[in-house]
Amino acid sequence: MADQKKKKLTPVQQEYQQLAKQKEPPRPVLKNCIRAFLSGGLICLFGQCITQAFITWGNFTEKTAGNPTVAILVLLSVILTALGVYDKIAQWAGAGTAVPVTGFANSMASAAIEHRSEGVVLGVGGQMFKVAGPVIVFGTVAAFIVGILHLIFGGTGIGGGS
């Protein structure tokens, strides 16, 4: 679709495009998938270890241990982003660090850090929520729709019932 909006290329430009595509190195798709799988899995394993620590030593239940676990993962992600470590991990791991909640925290913290010179409100707050805004809106709308469906169907089917 983006190609359709571009202006028509001259024959010389088309020839250059073909030459550039020939010289482009192939993408290591399998290697990238393995790295993403391992890194995403390790983040999830680490989160599960934190959850188990809350259950074992903090007298939490499985249900109540989830919130502090997410908070710790987000906090660690923001700290690692501020120190410049998360970006190095993400460069190696690829999509494996983008999918878990840590990737969302990283994207928000990166935007806030990058635009801090523009001020707290318009720089940090404004830029940070350009990334987070659509996710928050979609999550809210999806939760509303699921709540309505749950109300209509009386708790049978969606979510297992109450």
Confidence at residue 94, expressed as pLDDT on a 0 to 100 scale: 86
Q: What are the tens digits of pLDDT across the range 52-74?
A: 999 999 999 999 999 999 999 99
Distance, CA of 99 to CA of 94 (rounded, Å): 10
Q: Which residue in the block uniquely carries the two structure tokens 């599960």?
A: 48
**pLDDT attached to residue 144:** 93
Q: Is the pLDDT of residue 42 over 50?
A: yes
What mean pLDDT comes out for the span 80-88?
92
Contact at 8 Å (CB) between 119 and 128? no
Q: How many CA atoms lie within 13 A of 10 on its CB side?
A: 2
pTM, 2 dp: 0.68
Whether 7 shows a pLDDT value over 80: the answer reads no
95-104 confidence digits (pLDDT tens): 888 877 888 8
Q: What is the pLDDT of residue 6?
A: 66
Place of tokens 């940070």: 128
Amino acid at 156: T
- pLDDT value at position 60? 95
Please name the amino acid found at residue 114: E
Structure confidence at residue 5 (pLDDT): 58
Task: Collect all residues with Cβ–Cβ distance below 8 Å to 24 and sequence separation of at least 6.
Answer: none
Question: Is pLDDT above 70 for 155?
Answer: no
Taking all residues of the chain, what is their mean pLDDT, rounded to a whole number? Answer: 84
Annotated domain spans of the chain: 36-154
pLDDT for 110 beyond 90: no
160: alpha, beta or left? (left if phi > 0; alpha if psi -120 to 50)? left
Taking 90 as the threshold, does the pLDDT of residue 13 lie above it? no
